[in-house]
Chains A and B, each alone.
Chain A
Amino acid sequence: MDDYKFLFKVVLVGNAGVGKTCLVRRFTQGLFPPGQGATIGVDFMIKTVELENEKVKLQIWDTAGQERFRSITQSYYRSAHALILVYDISSQPTFDCLQDWLREIEEYASNKVLRVLVGNKTDREDREIPTSVGEDFANRHNMYFVETSAKEAENVERLFMVIASELMEQARSKELPRYETPALSSRSTSVGDGGCCGGRFS
């Protein structure tokens, strides 16, 4: 059934309203939901992409109700391979909060996690954060940078494809932390052997 070669967990964070859910849905479903309400009952979405003739499965975790008050559980960051930090280019406050988000990421995510800064909503006329400012911030913190519009489908595909190919490269060169595949396969009977391997059940 699952014939993918790689599985990566990608996690999104950023202030409320910056467009995290819209980015995920644009990428996984190819649409821009008109009245995006708080999503209920969905904790991650899945999209399988093909890269260099390999199937790569991306598990994209969006924050849930807890996010509104910045009370994400630290376990949310566990075993993430890539982290997307989103702000809204038309909203200075969402940019100002990036520092706080970074602090939280440093605290809980793995050192090796791939980090990407995303300035979303480029279609908007009322830009407050010039591209160069976002770029600078990303450079200073050793992050990839891209500006997107979930609405106009600009750079969204590219964002995730770059992440996928970067992670694939890391995996091939074995730099990637070797986690048991996080939180998948709800039906399959898995779980490690008696040795020192991790156990995950389903």
Chain B
Amino acid sequence: MGDEFPKEYDVIVVGTGMTESILAAAASRVGKRVLHLDSNEYYGGLWASFNFEGLQQWVGDCQKPKDETECKADPQLADGESAIKMRVLNPPTATNVKEQWHVPEAVESSGDDAKKAWSQEEVKKLYRKFNIDLAPKLLYSRGALVELLISSNIARYTEFRNVTRVVTWHEGKLTPVPCSRADVFATQNITVVEKRMLMNLLQECTEYEGNPEKLKKHENQSFLDFLKDKQLTDNLIHYVLYAIAMSTEETPCIEGMSRTQKFLLSLGRYGNTPFLWPMYGSGEIPQAFCRLCAVFGGLYHLKRGAEALIVGSDNTLKAIHSDRENLKSNYLVMGLDYAPDSFLPEESPGISRGVFLIDSSILAADKEHLTLLEFPPDESSGPVTIVEVGSLTNACPQGLYMVHMTTKQKGSAEEDLMSVAKKLMNFPGETDESKPNLVWSMFFNMKDTSTCDLGANTPTNLFLTSGPDLDLDFDFAIKQAKEIFSKMYPEDEFLPRAPDPEEIILDDDDEDKQKQPEEKASEEPQE
């Protein structure tokens, strides 16, 4: 295959994380020649979703000692060029990885009474039924990603499920939060008077933007104080502050209102909560962008990275050295986990993640729910974002639920999340009947590089991209991709709508050409 591999590109993208994949799609879509590499054999990097076996491999990779050995590459250099060698190994940059079983290796089937008793064997046997996210995300129904998927027509590669309930932890137990108008009226957790108060407040939050005067007064106020001023009951304050605005006691009023507004704007578009969950996991989303890139001619090669970067004397990147070849490119986009140490920003904050497999829902109901729980902060932990998914999302086999926890890192992931986990599920030896039993758990930390300055030390035509951030939705990755795209191609439209198959006219009279916005002839030789 060697000689059919083109040697020159407009953009080479290394890493198939979210931002990288959006950029690859955007460049390919407007006719640029794109090569997209990933040294892993799977898509998504730290944004990937794995089945149970794939996850075991990932855990194994994480535990490999960090190897700083440089590649032995010996690229040909022109005058004034120098080569920056890359590391041979780029193990996932997750730390404090701790995976643990909480059920026996095997159990004898105990007849038909009560709950099914799970064993390690049985879970492993069903490994293909899992899609376990490293970076679980929800989409606001009117958020940036949903709008982008629709406007670019990439939506056709994706499927979603509605989050069916928003739940909060209040007074030592879980309660569903009424969030839509219908919910508010239907709920029995709050009184009629409270219902009216809540409706009024939500109304006010949707209108605040056009009211600069009104806003002024709240400028220096916290959202909590604002809610208290409204004479809301404790119940309502809790719902609005923690579950709807996903805020804390310190959140400024304006931010709290704008978060509430974001929540409300996304209500009612696709279901009775504002959120969507990607079927088969968040790892599908970067892949959807990769598919578009490929459909527009982008070349993909997994298990292949860059061994060296070739930089000219003017501090611009000229080429990458990959698999004994120099591949020229006008631009290089590179996931931060691939970057040579000299490009890396100083310290970045961290994310603590927990994944739990349990034998029933954290809040039992008569049907399978997809649940969002924003666990309020307390003495022992910060606010923790919790998403519980069941078999309908293909996250796990029937009869099990998977709980994802995400919070800002303070200690290790286990330290940061254990107290919340203990409140929601039975650990071995505990037998609270109202709680699910823990089957398996995993903790890990990863860096949150969304706040770092990534442009500081790099050649001018090399763009580094961040890994997953703490936010619920993908807004950050989209913003970063747009910024980089507009630096590369300020004249070009960012992901214009891709035509549907019905709209494409293939004309074969003499040669194969397609009537499309940008007529692009194939560059690839045919074997």
CA separation between A38 and B522, bound complex, in Å? 6
CB interface residues, A 163-202, toward B, < 8 Å: 179-180, 182-184, 186, 191-202
Q: CB-CB < 8 A to B164: which residues of A? A: 194-196
Q: In the complex the two chains form, is A35's CB within 8 Å of B160's CB?
A: no
Q: Tell yes or no: A143 within 8 A of B by CB.
A: no
CA separation between A78 and B280, bound complex, in Å? 9
Q: Mark A40-67, 1 if CB is under 8 A from B, else 0.
A: 1111111000000000000000001111
Q: In the complex the two chains form, is A65's CB within 8 Å of B295's CB?
A: yes
CA separation between A186 and B497, bound complex, in Å? 10
A46-B501, A73-B291 are contacts. A199–B270 as well, Cβ < 8 Å? yes
Q: In the complex the two chains form, is B161's CB within 8 Å of A186's CB?
A: no
Q: Tell yes or no: A132 within 8 A of B by CB.
A: no
Q: Tell yes or no: B272 within 8 A of A by CB.
A: yes
Q: In the complex the two chains form, is A43's CB within 8 Å of B291's CB?
A: yes
Whose C-beta in chain B lies nearest to the C-beta of A183? Answer: B156
Q: In the complex the two chains form, is B502's CB within 8 Å of A196's CB?
A: no
Nearest CB in chain B: distance from A2 CB, A: 10
Q: In the complex the two chains form, is B522's CB within 8 Å of A29's CB?
A: no
Whose C-beta in chain A lies nearest to the C-beta of B497? Answer: A186
CA separation between A33 and B526, bound complex, in Å? 13
Nearest CB in chain B: distance from A103 CB, A: 12
Q: In the complex the two chains form, is B159's CB within 8 Å of A41's CB?
A: no
Q: How many A-B residue pairs have CB under 8 A?
A: 177
CA separation between A73 and B128, bound complex, in Å? 16
Q: Tell yes or no: B221 within 8 A of A by CB.
A: no
Q: CB-CB < 8 A to A201: which residues of B? A: 146, 149-150, 155, 160, 270
Nearest CB in chain A: distance from B462 CB, A: 23
CA separation between A39 and B504, bound complex, in Å? 11
Q: In the complex the two chains form, is B298's CB within 8 Å of A65's CB?
A: yes
A65-B298, A186-B153 are contacts. A40–B520 as well, Cβ < 8 Å? yes
CB interface residues, B 294-309, toward A, < 8 Å: 294-302, 304
Q: In the complex the two chains form, is A199's CB within 8 Å of B161's CB?
A: yes
Q: In the complex the two chains form, is B299's CB within 8 Å of A66's CB?
A: yes
Q: Tell yes or no: B79 within 8 A of A by CB.
A: no
CA separation between A197 and B527, bound complex, in Å? 45
CA separation between A182 and B506, bound complex, in Å? 23
Q: In the complex the two chains form, is B295's CB within 8 Å of A183's CB?
A: no
Q: CB-CB < 8 A to B247: which residues of A? A: none
Which residue of B270, B294, B392 has the most chain A CB atoms within 10 A of its CB atom?
Answer: B294
Q: CB-CB < 8 A to B499: which residues of A? A: 41
Q: Mark B37-72, 1 if CB is under 8 A from A, else 0.
A: 000001100000001000000000000000000000
Q: In the complex the two chains form, is A17's CB within 8 Å of B160's CB?
A: no
Whose C-beta in chain B lies nearest to the C-beta of A62? Answer: B295
A200-B155, A201-B155 are contacts. A107–B128 as well, Cβ < 8 Å? yes
Q: Tell yes or no: A139 within 8 A of B by CB.
A: no
Partner of A35, one of B269, B299, B512: B512
CA separation between A197 and B392, bound complex, in Å? 9
Whose C-beta in chain A lies nearest to the C-beta of B156? Answer: A183
Nearest CB in chain B: distance from A64 CB, A: 4
Q: Tell yes or no: B157 within 8 A of A by CB.
A: yes
CA separation between A182 and B304, bound complex, in Å? 31
Q: CB-CB < 8 A to B504: which residues of A? A: 41-42
A36-B512, A78-B284 are contacts. A198–B160 as well, Cβ < 8 Å? yes
Q: In the complex the two chains form, is A35's CB within 8 Å of B280's CB?
A: no
Q: In the complex the two chains form, is A38's CB within 8 Å of B297's CB?
A: yes
Whose C-beta in chain A lies nearest to the C-beta of B150? Answer: A201
Q: Tell yes or no: B3 within 8 A of A by CB.
A: no
A66-B298, A75-B288 are contacts. A42–B501 as well, Cβ < 8 Å? yes
Whose C-beta in chain B lies nearest to the C-beta of A15? Answer: B527
Q: In the complex the two chains form, is B280's CB within 8 Å of A34's CB?
A: no
Q: CB-CB < 8 A to B304: which residues of A? A: 69
Q: In the complex the two chains form, is A194's CB within 8 Å of B272's CB?
A: yes
Whose C-beta in chain B lies nearest to the C-beta of A198? Answer: B161
Q: In the complex the two chains form, is A69's CB within 8 Å of B271's CB?
A: no
CA separation between A180 and B162, bound complex, in Å? 13
Q: CB-CB < 8 A to B128: which residues of A? A: 107
Q: Tell yes or no: B314 within 8 A of A by CB.
A: no
Partner of A202, one of B150, B392, B498, B502: B150
Q: In the complex the two chains form, is B295's CB within 8 Å of A40's CB?
A: yes
Q: In the complex the two chains form, is B297's CB within 8 Å of A33's CB?
A: no
Which residue of B293, B295, B392 has the most chain A CB atoms within 10 A of its CB atom?
Answer: B295
Q: CB-CB < 8 A to B287: which residues of A? A: 73-75
Q: Tell yes or no: B113 within 8 A of A by CB.
A: no
Q: In the complex the two chains form, is B276's CB within 8 Å of A199's CB?
A: yes
Whose C-beta in chain A lies nearest to the C-beta of B515? Answer: A41
Q: Tell yes or no: B368 within 8 A of A by CB.
A: yes
Partner of A69, one of B284, B300, B370: B300
Q: In the complex the two chains form, is A196's CB within 8 Å of B368's CB?
A: yes
Q: In the complex the two chains form, is A182's CB within 8 Å of B498's CB?
A: no
Q: CB-CB < 8 A to A75: which residues of B? A: 157, 280, 284, 287-288, 291
Q: CB-CB < 8 A to B527: which residues of A? A: 16-17
Q: Tell yes or no: A37 within 8 A of B by CB.
A: yes
Q: In the complex the two chains form, is A64's CB within 8 Å of B291's CB?
A: yes
For the complex of A and B, list the 5 residue pairs with the smallest distance between their C-beta atoms, beginning with the closest.
A66-B300, A183-B156, A194-B272, A37-B522, A66-B294
Cβ contacts A to B, 17 pairs, < 8 Å: A34-B511, A35-B511, A40-B297, A41-B499, A43-B291, A46-B502, A65-B300, A66-B298, A67-B294, A69-B302, A73-B43, A74-B287, A107-B128, A184-B156, A186-B153, A198-B392, A201-B270
Known: A75-B288, A199-B160. 20 other contacts (CB 8 A): A36-B512, A36-B526, A37-B511, A38-B524, A41-B296, A41-B516, A42-B501, A42-B514, A64-B295, A65-B296, A65-B297, A71-B300, A78-B279, A179-B159, A186-B155, A194-B273, A198-B159, A199-B161, A200-B155, A202-B156
